[in-house]
Amino acid sequence: MRTDTGQLFRLEDYRPTDYLIPQTSLTFDLHPERTIVRAVLSVERREGVSASQPLVLDGDDLKLVGLTVNGALLGDNGYRATPERLEIAELPAEDRFTVEIVTEINPTTNRQLMGLYRSSGVYCTQCEAEGFRRITYFLDRPDVLSVYTVRIEASKAEAPVLLSNGNPMEAGDLAGGRHFAVWHDPHPKPSYLFALVAGDLGSIRDSFTTRSGTKVDLAIYVEDGKEPRALYAMDALKRSMQWDEEVFGREYDLDVFNVVAVSDFNMGAMENKGLNVFNDKYVLADAETATDTDYAGIEAVIAHEYFHNWTGNRITCRDWFQLCLKEGLTVFRDHEFSADQRSRAVKRIAEVKTLKAHQFPEDAGPLAHPVRPRQYREINNFYTATVYEKGSEVVRMIRTILGPDLFRKGMDLYFERHDGEAATIEDFVKAFEDASGRDLSQFALWYEQAGTPNLSVSYDYDPAEKTFTIELEQSLKATPGQSRKKPMHIPIEFGLIGSDGKDITPASATGAEVTGDVIHLRQRKEKVRFTGIGERPVPSLLRGFSAPVTLASELPHEDLIFLALNDSDPVGRWQALTKLLTGALIAGVKQVRGGKPPVIDADIVNLVGEIAANETLDAAFRALCLTPPGESDIAREIGDNIDPDAVLASREALIKAIAEAHRQAFAALYDKLANTGTFSPDAESAGRRALRNCLLDYLSVAEADPSHATAQFRAADNMTDRAAALGVLVHRFGDSDSAREALGAFEERFGGDPLVMDKWFMVQATRPGAAALDRVRALMSHRLFSLDNPNRTRALIGLFATANQTGFNRADGAAYDFFADMILKIDRENPQLAARLLTALRSWRSLEPVRREHARAALARIAATEKLSTDVKDIVERTLG
């Protein structure tokens, strides 16, 4: 494990390398504990660089066993090798030469899951961001592009399947029960996109013919026997390939495209050129084992990794500060894909919920950083919601500002100009400026300034003048390392709604710039005055959630109810309803903390009933409206001095009031929505299940009885309905025999499948209340649990820390202590996983004083531990600030 070197990397220090490596040829002699890697690098000295400049290559935990330059051994002073670095000083005078490096690595003991490791006996690699240097010494940075040829040799019995990037060239048998395969990738790529997989894997195959007529062979490799569970991923892959041609004009560029599912993986998946490697959670699905959420996740991640082929691989990043260049853009592309495949409005609301749940707290806490960070100690810690999700919002805003046609023109120009290059955010923004003739320099501040801007809005209607004036003010709080902030260019989609529910078209607009239905706020404070407005309109601002900001508007209760029922924009409707529910829930928290039972607002209870009953609305949309803001959403809106027990009490009181008021109607609707026919994962069926499962929870609360849930659990013919019923049983009736029996039945049925059992761990980890800690501790001894596997660890420890507000934030701090122990333990094996889990404590300062002090003490204990990884040290130090 790499321990902290204290080095800080800064954007302003970027400098191109002295040497290039236009070609790389690798030979792997695979053995479980002693793999030999021979790397032949064709090296080129850049013009103007002196031959006395040494070639300095990156390494991590490497053992050098051989080195030649132009075929000759070097003198003792000719080079210096440490596990972290190979410096070659004795170099030829010519500007081109060959360096051959032999290293020895151990894939079996590699538990960091970076570099070459083994997962359930399968050899696989993960090189982003800096894993390639754990395989061989290299210029391991994204602006060094090389053409790779890879030869893999392995035992035929152990690894019948041998894969790498690009196209297959040659394969055959060797002596001693071994065989080999050669792969060649004609597209120059950075080392982080290198991949190798070797093992005994099953596969499904298909093909896709590009619009210019090239047939591409597609394969998805999975654990033997699980092939049928890869069919949905294959379908999603073909739809992604088709969509990228239709919507972005982008075609695939190799003869083969391979996807491999592995069970030990730190993140969701990886876009290695022509050989995407996936966490099996994002490949494997069938009705029996996967929920509708799992299906949607697979579709999104398959698309995301495929789309990286153009946004990430063909055009890559100059340096890791530009990470959002590929990630934000590719998230935007996968969002658009899912919106086109499913319901656009429902998809957008889901995105807004995710952004607010993950990115807003990041931006409001000690880990806040700009979409393009200016400095880092550990790049692994910058694969964040800000870089990915806010990065995607920034791209979406560019489209909102330019409109779809100029946006597409800008994208085309970006692809045309930078194909085959390692680009920057400046290059990206410039393409849109040049395509549209618009000045985006103020807009580019979205990449530079951390924090969520607040928009405060007031309205004035003048009946005599028939004018409606909106006054807007933006503000942005200080974030770590940034105190003074400049006003940003914020695109605000809007509508002015008349009493008939229809949008009013203003005669003219003066003040802030208005183009179509977008107000462009650029000053700190600006007014916009609309004329020709015959009645006082209800304004709907931030339609489609057109900018990642918080909105403080002085709209009265009745207007919010009106918007929740009438806004032509479903996202606007949902936003208005959420605002009402959040207000009611926060009022309830105050009442609980004042020792009183929460008073429930009858208007809100009725409103929810009205939306549930409105069959003209999408079932999935109604399900979103029927789910009140979660405990962490409420906590985020309160902002400080949080008491999670009071938050839970307030939320439960509202749910109970809604459940009791609409008991009959909900029961009838629940029955009406019952399954018919065979299972289909399509969006409409999934929406119906989502709504029905929402109603199941309300019904169970109203009846104070588990029988509806038990009946559904037993009758379920798919995992969505089964897992939802289990959730109700465990969370609402956890001590009952019904819950115990259901957990037992689930374990009996799925105990052979760790991936499915993650749902069983999760449902128990998230059962509210202080007793959760003991349950989590006990579950750690379950035969399927292992801290070595990231999916298991996230299901139990991760969900406990992020999705069990009352259980994790126990008033006595015992769960923080347990959590700190786990972080320290995991850090010794897998620093990346430990650091990511630890971000669960990022909002510790918003807790009430007693819990806050316990959390601080647990963080301080981690910080004071010796031999922390760079990853954990960086997170804990920034969190304590």
Applying CB under 6 A, which residues contact ligand TRP?
A: 126, 128-129, 266-267, 269-271, 304-305, 327, 383
Residue 528 interacting entry, from ligand TRP, Zn ion, none, C-beta within 5 to 8 Å by type: none
Counting runs of H as helices and runs of E as strands, what totals does the chain give? 30, 32
Select the span of 117-125, 172-180, 330-338, 640-648 touching Zn ion (CB under 5 A): 330-338
Residue keyed to tokens 């995105």: 351
713, 729 in Cβ contact below 8 A?
yes
Assigned token pair, 57: 């290559």
Q: Which amino acid is at 664?
A: Q
Among candidate residues 153, 305, 336, 362, the one labeled active-site is: 305
Q: Which amino acid is at 789?
A: N
Smaller CB separation from ligand TRP, 305 or 351: 305
Task: Tell me the three state secondary structure of residue 541.
Answer: strand
Residue 103 interacting entry, from Zn ion, ligand TRP, none, C-beta within 5 to 8 Å by type: none
C-alpha to C-alpha distance for 719 and 288, rounded to whole angstroms: 5
305 assigned to active site: yes
Smaller CB separation from ligand TRP, 45 or 377: 377
Task: Tell me the three state secondary structure of residue 513.
Answer: strand
Smaller CB separation from Zn ion, 268 or 403: 268
265, 128 in Cβ contact below 8 A?
no
Phi, psi values for residue 469, rounded to 5°: -115, 130
Residue 636 interacting entry, from ligand TRP, Zn ion, none, C-beta within 5 to 8 Å by type: none
Smaller CB separation from Zn ion, 330 or 804: 330
* CB-neighbour burial class of residue 743 (10 A; exposed 0-12, middle 13-18, buried 19+): middle
Helices 570-593, 631-638: crossing angle, 10 deg rounding: 80
Select the span of 104-112, 320-328, 672-680, 760-768 touching Zn ion (CB under 5 A): 320-328
Task: Tell me the three state secondary structure of residue 865.
Answer: coil
Q: Which amino acid is at 335?
A: H
Smaller CB separation from ligand TRP, 320 or 761: 320
Please confirm whether the linkage preceding 51 is cis (ω < 30° from 0).
Answer: no
DSSP 598: P
Among 392, 325, 320, residue whose Cα is nearest residue 354: 392
Percentage helix, strand, coil, to 5, in the chain? 45, 25, 35
C-alpha to C-alpha distance for 303 and 334, rounded to whole angstroms: 6
CB of 305 to Zn ion, least distance (A): 7
Select the span of 179-187, 319-327, 837-845, 854-862 touching Zn ion (CB under 5 A): 319-327
CB of 311 to Zn ion, least distance (A): 9
Residue 718 interacting entry, from Zn ion, ligand TRP, none, C-beta within 5 to 8 Å by type: none
617, 684 in Cβ contact below 8 A?
no
Residue nearest to ligand TRP (CB): 267
Residue keyed to tokens 């928009």: 455
CB of 272 to ligand TRP, least distance (A): 9
Q: How far is CA 15 from CA 82, 130, 325, in A?
A: 24, 18, 19
CB of 270 to ligand TRP, least distance (A): 4
Residue 128 interacting entry, from Zn ion, ligand TRP, none, C-beta within 5 to 8 Å by type: ligand TRP
Select the span of 323-331, 339-347, 497-505, 517-525 touching Zn ion (CB under 5 A): 323-331
Residues 39-68 that bind Zn ion (CB under 5 A): none
Residue 383 interacting entry, from ligand TRP, Zn ion, none, C-beta within 5 to 8 Å by type: ligand TRP
CB of 334 to Zn ion, least distance (A): 8
CB of 383 to ligand TRP, least distance (A): 5
CA 119 to chain centre: 23
876, 381 in Cβ contact below 8 A?
no
Assigned token pair, 604: 């809100």
Sequence-ordered list of residues with C-beta below 8 angstroms from that of 56, at least 6 positions apart, any chain: 85, 86, 87, 88
CB of 648 to ligand TRP, least distance (A): 34
Smaller CB separation from Zn ion, 327 or 601: 327
Task: Tell me the three state secondary structure of residue 180.
Answer: strand
* Number of residues lying near Zn ion (CB under 5 A): 2
The C-alpha angle with vertex 849 and arms to 845 and 853, in degrees rounded to 5, equals 70
Smaller CB separation from Zn ion, 326 or 579: 326
Smaller CB separation from Zn ion, 316 or 806: 316
* CB-neighbour burial class of residue 505 (10 A; exposed 0-12, middle 13-18, buried 19+): exposed
CB atoms within 10 A of CB 330: 26
Residue 858 interacting entry, from Zn ion, ligand TRP, none, C-beta within 5 to 8 Å by type: none
Residue 9 interacting entry, from ligand TRP, Zn ion, none, C-beta within 5 to 8 Å by type: none
Smaller CB separation from ligand TRP, 380 or 843: 380
CB of 316 to Zn ion, least distance (A): 12
CB of 446 to ligand TRP, least distance (A): 20
Residue numbers at the binding site for Zn ion (CB under 5 A): 327, 330
Q: Indicate which residues carry an active-site annotation.
A: 305
